[in-house]
Structure 1
Amino acid sequence: MSTHYKITARNAIHLMLASISTFFRLATKAQQIGDRIAEIPPRLTTWRCNAAEGCLPQNTSVVLDASFRWIHVVDGYDSCTVPSGELSKTICPDAITCARNCAIEGANYASAGVHTWSNSLSSSDSSSLTLDMYIDGQESSPRVYLLGEDGDYEDLQLFGQELTFDVDLSKMPCGTNGALYLSEMSLSGGRSDLNSAGASMGTGYCDAQCPVMNFIDGELDVWEANTVATALTPHPCNTTGVYACSGQDCVGGDSGGICDKSGCVYNTYGQGYHNFYGPEGVVDTTKPFTVVTQFFADSSNSGGGQPVLKEIRRLYIQNDEVITGASSSVSAAMVIDDAFCGDGVFEKLGGLEGMGQALQRGMVLVFSIWNDESQFMNWLDSNEAGPCDNKAGDPATILNKSPGTSVTWSNVRWGDVGSTFGSHWNPKGESLKLKPKIREMKASKYPT
């Protein structure tokens, strides 16, 4: 099980912003973009890669989710929310009136725990992103989205491609989650006559967990991790794009819902390889490393002769070595395929084929850092999933013991399989000379 949404009063703000887009035809005055705080999204250079040209930089940035922003009355400073965080019933009796009365402001990114900066590997400005869980002893736990030059969310179409990034999790203890994932959100953020802010102000969030009643969409958790555990989890839905679900549709797939909220989870520790990932493990999480996730497609009768997603494969790179499996055993290759996921809820709600269709349509890249008040992140790093004590993820414990909790991603790039690492990855004009693979894996019909 996984979720990226803490159950707080931010739900109400998300619902208002989503509802505004739904009812845009019924009003004449748009939701305002505020003029109190300028919105300057931090630049985060990313790369598009191909076998012929290598990796080319893109002028991208990150934008803070709308629920972390100040929303106030248009002609004053009064908040549109009450102390509990819920929307004021006087100012916002309905979505249309709320859009007319309220403005959403730009963000102070440093105060929100969001920082971009240049790393030593790349000569490009701002190629690293750090998210802080706490600022001055207060929880921040921000969520940001990758924004394109056009003011819409960057459209990642990763079918038959690979996604690669470097990550530093050395300040992520038990019970925390530094997540990088894909969501089939509206690229415009639901921009409309009633929501002029759209993606440029971080609106439109949705995922397979249905955090905004009643909107839901497909989700692919490429990376959920801390220093001791990590999970790779596709969550298909049997619908396309953002869907306004109701009733039974909104519950988990095992209870009749339209999305597989639990997903098909690959967790190396959960597979029995307890010394593979962690401090001083084969992948040593006390140091930065590179994560490669490949999405292999092949023709299939079920796809009517069209290519379908057949396999999601994970590689790691550390100390110039490619790590392709948890051990030399056949079962230890880090692969999600139909055989691994089985024929349960995941398959019934679309399986890898359905997830591949979402990758073809395009998805939004999301970065977040969070803790789990309800389950203490046990589903990720405790019991059968990891070595943590099942009380270690109590947010009060994390704040007390690890007030400097943070995660850093760097050098995010995507493109043709095999083009994002090795000789193709040369942000400073230098090729990375990788050593031979240090772990064997089962034979694959989808070679790298």
Structure 2
Amino acid sequence: MSYKLSLTGLVASLLLGTAVAQEAHPLLPTWKCTTSGGCVQQNTSVVLDRDSKYAKGAAGSRTTADYAAMGVSTSGNAVTLYHYVRNNGALTPASPRIYLLGPDNKYVLMSLLNQELSVDVDLSALPCGENGAFYFSEMAADGRGNAGAGDGYCDAQCQGYCCPEMDILEANSQATAMTPHPCKGNNCDKGGCGYNPYASGQRGYWGPGKTVDTSKPFTVVTQFVASGGKLTQITRKYVQNGRQISGGGTISSCGSEGSTGGLTGMGESLGRGMVLAMSIWNDAAQQMAWLDSGNNGPCTSGQGSPSNIQSQHPDTHVVFSNIRWGDIGSTGKN
């Protein structure tokens, strides 16, 4: 796996002449699609979140990111995120979070109201307790002011600060959920209005060898259907082995418009434009039980502990590729 030097980052470093070297962002081409014109390749790249991007040196100085050391690698239109990496022979957590950048070195703001998004995923190496997340936050394109690429993170849990969040895919090989988290001001729907096939009674739908066979790659298509300029439903479809799989789920309501904005508020955020984030993580406190245990999935207590994952699945990783967005029905075009 490899990545090419981002010319934007290189030119910026030469022009700025700052003491801190401008890092080269790994290229990750994506496609913007229309029903009339097909899909056009975008000159996009990825950047690590600031919290993981810099290592502190002497006197608090910063060094530019080593993407491979932080578990991130790109090849063609695919990005792979590793939870654990080797550091001086020892296996250590990296748990990277990255964002999609445009050629202007700002976050790409995807406006997805009455649009669709598709992405190919490989979750086969994600065991119980692990989460390969592909989602949107209503972050500022310039990192909230002038902080720059890698900065300005926010979500509906109010990490960084409070902002609407649309979880396209939180998943491992055993369970999945898609969850809108609208916000009205700083009042966010932290629990969200998720759809989890296992929790809905589809016990044979998601997993290795099941209807959506997570032992192999497949395509996730999410449609944000609007009527009269308002979001009316979020619909999920899957495509595997050239076949569309039904039963992916639909969300047609989401809490109170008065308190958190509801589905209408989520649609307003999607219309303004949101930033794509991708991450891999696990959870010592809950062991991801909210996603894959009990009524939410087939995993059992202890399987999802970080210590068990690190010892039994040290190579755990997720691959996202072939990211396309645009008119509903357009992203399947070449």
Structures share a fold, TM > 0.5?
A: yes
The structure whose residues are more often strand, as a share, is 2
Q: Against the structure 1 CA distance between its residues 34 and 318, is the aligned structure 2 distance closer, same or farther, given a 3 Å change threshold?
A: farther
- Aligned pairs for 1:195-344 (under 5 A) are 195=147, 198-199=148-149, 202-212=150-160, 215-239=161-185, 258-299=187-228, 307-325=229-247, 334-338=249-253, 341=254, 344=255
C-alpha distance in structure 1 between counterparts of 2:258 and 2:241, whole Å: 38
1:55 is aligned to 2:1: no
Aligned match of 2:64:
106
C-alpha distance in structure 2 between counterparts of 1:127 and 1:372, whole Å: 29
Which runs of 5 or more structure 1 residues have no equivalent in the other structure?
1-31, 81-102, 118-125, 240-244, 246-257, 300-306, 327-333, 427-448
Query: Could you tell me whether the CA contact under 8 Å between 1:169 and 1:226 is conserved in 2?
Result: yes
Larger radius of gyration: 1
State the shift of 1:393 in Å.
1.0
C-alpha distance in structure 2 between counterparts of 1:57 and 1:310, whole Å: 29
Q: Against the structure 1 CA distance between its residues 309 and 400, is the aligned structure 2 distance closer, same or farther, given a 3 Å change threshold?
A: same
C-alpha distance in structure 1 between counterparts of 2:182 and 2:58, whole Å: 41
RMSD of aligned C-alpha atoms? 1.6
Letter in 2 for 1:392: Q
Letter in 2 for 1:219: E
Letter in 1 for 2:58: D
What do residues 133-180 of structure 1 show as CA deviations (whole Å, max 9, x unaligned)? 000211001000000000100010000000000000010000000000
1:149 is aligned to 2:103: yes
What do residues 239-271 of structure 1 show as CA deviations (whole Å, max 9, x unaligned)? 2xxxxx5xxxxxxxxxxxx00000001000000
- Equivalent of 1:46 in 13, 20, 30: 30
Query: Could you tell me whether the CA contact under 8 Å between 1:45 and 1:58 is conserved in 2?
Result: yes
Aligned match of 2:6:
none
State the shift of 1:38 in Å.
4.7
C-alpha distance in structure 1 between counterparts of 2:321 and 2:38, whole Å: 18
C-alpha distance in structure 2 between counterparts of 1:376 and 1:323, whole Å: 29
**SS of the residue aligned with 1:216?**
coil
- Equivalent of 2:125 in 146, 154, 171: 171
- Equivalent of 1:78 in 54, 58, 66: 58
Letter in 1 for 2:81: L
The structure whose residues are more often helix, as a share, is 1
**SS of the residue aligned with 1:384?**
helix
- Aligned pairs for 1:361-376 (under 5 A) are 361-376=272-287
Query: Could you tell me whether the CA contact under 8 Å between 1:236 and 1:346 is conserved in 2?
Result: no
**SS of the residue aligned with 1:404?**
coil
State the aligned residue count: 314
C-alpha distance in structure 2 between counterparts of 1:353 and 1:79, whole Å: 48
C-alpha distance in structure 1 between counterparts of 2:221 and 2:19, whole Å: 40
State the shift of 1:62 in Å.
0.2
Aligned match of 1:20:
none
**SS of the residue aligned with 2:310?**
helix
Aligned match of 1:187:
141
C-alpha distance in structure 2 between counterparts of 1:142 and 1:181, whole Å: 14
State the shift of 1:276 in Å.
0.5
**SS of the residue aligned with 2:294?**
coil
What do residues 341-370 of structure 1 show as CA deviations (whole Å, max 9, x unaligned)? 4xx457741111000000011100000000
Which runs of 5 or more structure 2 residues have no equivalent in the other structure?
1-16
Q: Against the structure 1 CA distance between its residues 71 and 131, is the aligned structure 2 distance closer, same or farther, given a 3 Å change threshold?
A: closer
Query: Could you tell me whether the CA contact under 8 Å between 2:55 and 2:65 is conserved in 1?
Result: no
What do residues 409-438 of structure 1 show as CA deviations (whole Å, max 9, x unaligned)? 1100000000001xx2x2xxxxxxxxxxxx
State the shift of 1:50 in Å.
0.5
Which stretches of structure 1, 4 residues or more, deviate above 6 A after TM superposition? none
1:381 is aligned to 2:287: no
- Equivalent of 2:48 in 57, 64, 76: 64
Aligned match of 1:131:
81
